[in-house]
Amino acid sequence: MATPTITVMLAGVGGQGTILAADVLAKTAVAAGLDVKLSEVHGMAQRGGSVDTAVRFGESVASPITDPGCADHLVAFEMIEAARQLPYVKPGGRLLVNSRIIDPLPVLIGDTEPPTGVEEALVDAGAIFMDAEELACEAGSPKSANIVLLGALSTGLEFPVELWTGVISARVPTASVEFNLRAFELGRRACGEGGACLV
Amino acid sequence: MSPTLLSGNEAVARGAWEAGALVGVGYPGTPSTQALEVFAAMDGVYAEWAPNEKVALEVAAGASMGGARSLVTMKHVGVNVAADPLFTLAYTGVGAGLVVFVADDPGMHSSQNEQDSRNWGPFARVPVLEPSDSSEALEFTRVAFELSERFDIPVIVRATTRISHSKGVVELSGARQSVVPGDYRKDVGKWVMMPAMARARRLSLDERVRQLADYAEKSPLNRVEMRDSAIGVVTSGVCYQYVREALPEASIFKLGMCFPLPAQALADFSRSVDRLVVVEEADRYLESSLKVLGLTPEPVDLPASGELSPGLVHRALGGDPPPVRESVPGLPPRPPLMCPGCPHRGAYNALRKAKAIVTGDIGCYTLGALAPLASMDACVCMGASVGMAHGMRLAGQGSARRPVVAVIGDSTFAHSGVTGLMDIAYNGGDAMVCILDNRITAMTGHQQNPVSGMTLQREPAVEVDLEALCRSIGVKRVRIVDPHDLAASEQAVREEIDSGELSVLIFRAPCALLIKEKDQPYAVDDNLCTACGLCIRLGCPAISKGEDGKARIDVTICVGCGDCVQVCKFSAIELTGPACEIGGV
């Protein structure tokens, strides 16, 4: 039987590094010899708007995008975006959430009330929370929060660690390889093999 | 040969390069932009950004006439601008291969409308190829150059956002074809489209399209995948992928060439299946075309606008949706916004104070329409702001109390704003035009333009002197102001409005993202802040309203532009040390 296609969604806010994270994940899957499709949206959406990216891999992948109820993993870089994309995660799917809220402009300027019940809804949905920025700072730079989250994601996927670290080393600027690899390791440690939250 | 992850745009660039294209010309526009950027970085090519898509196609037409294979790139609305040369180039045909890459944006992720560029096929009588993934984007672009020369016609390669911005695995095996530019041979009957010659070329065009239709019957670009004959789906582009996933057992007629269509092959397919359906997004182009061919596809309940997905296709053809988690109610929207330090903020702050009716344009500054700046009244297409401001004045709108002002960016002004300005000057109009000159084409991801002083291939370039250009058109009042100087900006806007004459006010400061060295961030002194909300109304994402109503500045994203300092009447916003020393908010 053909290897089933795995769908990972990455959701965040423009500028958070979701696109680089998606690229690393997709390249790792290519390195594992799988077929891969990745969809992202550029342009206006990148100016601080919601950014969601799907990475799909398996023996043969057709569609680059996915539908509600079809994602095996959601990696959310921010809690409101986690809640927004929650319907995409299939029952039994895995939710990794950076425990951080970036208020959208309508909230910042007081036009819209901050949302309520976001964290509760994510807890009910079985989300695994972590403070990716804090772990990234521990690794050496707050900019590597996206790699921390990939480290956490990696514990739920079957790629060997060397594939991940090889792709990360080739993909990030040379000067930042060391702390990005540390960030990946801290993300892995924060999220145990069984997906349990260890922090 | 190695598997490489390429976006559709990257694959188009690679396909053109492999085909030996020597010249690439385009105008940036999401989702098409990277195709030319990637092409420009390849060995042995010349590539340039043109001021607009019409010029881009004309440059490529000349290069093709001169014997060089040429690639033109643009987004869907760009083809409207380039339509004039496109239609007649179908008549003239080409010298060397001429391929127009067009990226549509169904769902309008980053566009002002949806247009289905497949329609240009029958309208302009040019072949349209439609790849359904990155591999095909490469292959089809390469083939497009061959077809262009074989059938003496420009060829459109049409993508959508989900092709252009999706990545897939491509086996890179092809080397670059060596194409030596051919000799130019004078041929008035082919290239000079005066009526007598055009009439002959029109007949030739019909014959070329007929030959293309014959080719379509046997072309490997089109493919039948026979599986269960209970249902047969005619589809193309990314929708093919959705059908594969939604209906893995269905028979499929996959069209790689959407114009001209293979009438006989489609009729054969129709007879070989029990139910014939069409799956396509955007216009009902294929469905209508099939009906014209006398085929009778069953209606399918798919949305007539926006994007499709595997799930939508699955449900439209009778499938059950998967169980879905409940959504979380009451989530605030997250619209895109102007960056911290964006120079457009100061311009809109001044226009808001002047209570201007703003005819707007296409670029990052369109975000000025959103709260809290909320200072734009219209946005239609590239360059429209200028003509529309003039038109509003002709309708009697605009007064010192509620002036009419056009707002346009530097690149957009070069694209098609300058012609509108010429119109106002020539006809003695008195509108006020603000050029928001941030030294770059920002929204599409920082492309160079005629105002920015550098070419696509990173060579220093002549810089359009906007002031001199406006004066030469006949605008007597041309003025420059730094948008980060809020008082000076307000004064300049007021004075230019009060002048009652045609006036161009250039707000000049670089895009905040061009400034790599950030200034030190500011912080709010809680003891001095009175929660008046004036700084909040600048709409800077670094400033938020705390529970006590007082302002907070997020030092991690503040770039120290100082706009907020100038609006604070209580000196409550002050310079801090470097962000890392104060930490947090």
Which domain CATH number covers B6? Answer: 3.40.50.970
Contacts of A91 in chain B (CB under 8 A): 323, 325
Place of tokens 């910042």: A108
Specify if B531 maps to a domain: yes
Q: Are B348 and B417 members of one domain?
A: yes
Give the pLDDT confidence score for residue A55 in this predicted structure.
98
Q: Are B385 and B489 members of one domain?
A: yes
Domain containing residue B531: CATH number: 3.30.70.20
Specify if B423 maps to a domain: yes
Which of A109, A124, A143 is the best residue to mutate to test the B interface, defined by the most B CB atoms within 10 Å of its own CB? A109
Q: What is the largest CA-CA distance in chain A?
A: 54
Contacts of B3 in chain A (CB under 8 A): 30
For residue A190, which phi and psi values (nearest 5 degrees)? Answer: -70, -20
Specify if B116 maps to a domain: yes
Taking only residues 315 to 354 of chain B, the set having a beta carbon closer than 8 angstroms to any beta carbon of chain A reads 321-328, 330-339
The residue out of B300, B316, B332 marking a domain boundary is B316
Q: Give the residue numbers spanning the domain of B198.
A: 2-218
Q: Are B354 and B467 members of one domain?
A: yes
Which of A65, A100, A124, A131 is the best residue to mutate to test the B interface, defined by the most B CB atoms within 10 Å of its own CB? A65
Nearest residue of B to residue A104, measured between CA atoms: B334
Tell me the sheet residues that pair with A13: A50
Give the pLDDT confidence score for residue B256 in this predicted structure.
98
Q: Are B369 and B426 members of one domain?
A: yes
Contact between chains at B544 and A114 (C-beta distance less than 8 A): no
Taking only residues 115 to 174 of chain B, the set having a beta carbon closer than 8 angstroms to any beta carbon of chain A reads 133, 161-162, 165-169
Q: Are B55 and B25 members of one domain?
A: yes
Tell me the sheet residues that pair with B102: B74, B158
Domain containing residue B256: CATH number: 3.40.50.920
Residue A186 distance to chain B (closest CA, Å): 22
Write the residue in A13, A43, A111 that is nearest to B371 by C-beta: A111
Write the residue in A41, A67, A110 that is nearest to B310 by C-beta: A67
Q: Are B174 and B238 members of one domain?
A: no
Contact between chains at A89 and B325 (C-beta distance less than 8 A): yes
Nearest residue of A to residue B167, measured between CA atoms: A38
Mind listing the pLDDT tens digit of every residue in chain B (585 residues)?
579 999 999 999 999 999 999 999 999 999 999 999 999 999 999 999 999 999 999 999 999 999 999 999 999 999 999 999 999 999 999 999 999 999 999 999 999 999 999 999 999 999 999 999 999 999 999 999 999 999 999 999 999 999 999 999 999 988 999 878 878 999 999 999 999 999 999 999 999 999 999 999 999 999 999 999 999 999 999 999 999 999 999 999 999 999 999 999 999 999 999 999 999 999 999 999 999 999 999 999 999 999 999 999 999 999 999 999 998 999 999 988 899 999 999 999 999 999 999 999 999 999 999 999 999 999 999 999 999 999 999 999 999 899 999 999 999 999 999 999 999 999 999 999 999 999 999 999 899 999 999 999 999 999 999 999 999 999 999 999 999 999 999 999 999 999 999 999 999 999 999 998 888 899 999 999 999 999 999 999 999 998 899 999 988 889 999 999 999 999 999 987 544 344 433
Q: Does the CB of B445 have a partner CB in chain A at under 8 Å?
A: yes
Q: Are B485 and B543 members of one domain?
A: no
Q: Are B73 and B214 members of one domain?
A: yes
Specify if B349 maps to a domain: yes
Q: Are B258 and B291 members of one domain?
A: yes
Burial of B267 (0-12, 13-18, 19+ CB in 10 A): middle
Q: B233 and B224 in contact (C-beta within 8 Å)?
A: no
Domains of chain A, first to last: 6-190 (3.40.920.10)
Contact between chains at B332 and A38 (C-beta distance less than 8 A): no
Contacts of B166 in chain A (CB under 8 A): 37-40, 64-65
Nearest to B347 by CA among B328, B333, B330, B360: B360
Nearest residue of B to residue A112, measured between CA atoms: B332
Q: B371 and B400 in contact (C-beta within 8 Å)?
A: no
* Angstrom distances, CA of residue B439 to CA of A172, B144, B274, B411, B414: 28, 36, 59, 8, 12
Specify if B255 maps to a domain: yes
Contact between chains at B332 and A112 (C-beta distance less than 8 A): yes
For residue A53, give the H/E element and its range. Answer: strand A50-58
* Angstrom distances, CA of residue B321 to CA of B47, B121, B189, B228, B311: 47, 36, 59, 22, 7
Q: How many CA atoms lie within 13 A of B563 on its CB side?
A: 34
Structure-block tokens of residue B441: 């084409």
ipTM of the complex: 0.94
Q: Are B139 and B162 members of one domain?
A: yes
Q: Are B409 and B486 members of one domain?
A: yes
The three-class DSSP label of residue A150 is: helix
Q: Does the CB of A62 have a partner CB in chain B at under 8 Å?
A: yes
Specify if B376 maps to a domain: yes
Tell me the C-alpha distance between B73 and A165, whole Å.
37
Write the residue in B31, B168, B326 that is nearest to A43 by C-beta: B31
Whether pLDDT at A198 is above 70: no
Which of A105, A120, A123 is the best residue to mutate to test the B interface, defined by the most B CB atoms within 10 Å of its own CB? A105
Whether pLDDT at A195 is above 60: no
Write the residue in A39, A44, A80 that is nearest to B331 by C-beta: A80
Nearest to B457 by CA among B42, B24, B71, B47: B47
The residue out of B316, B335, B363 marking a domain boundary is B316
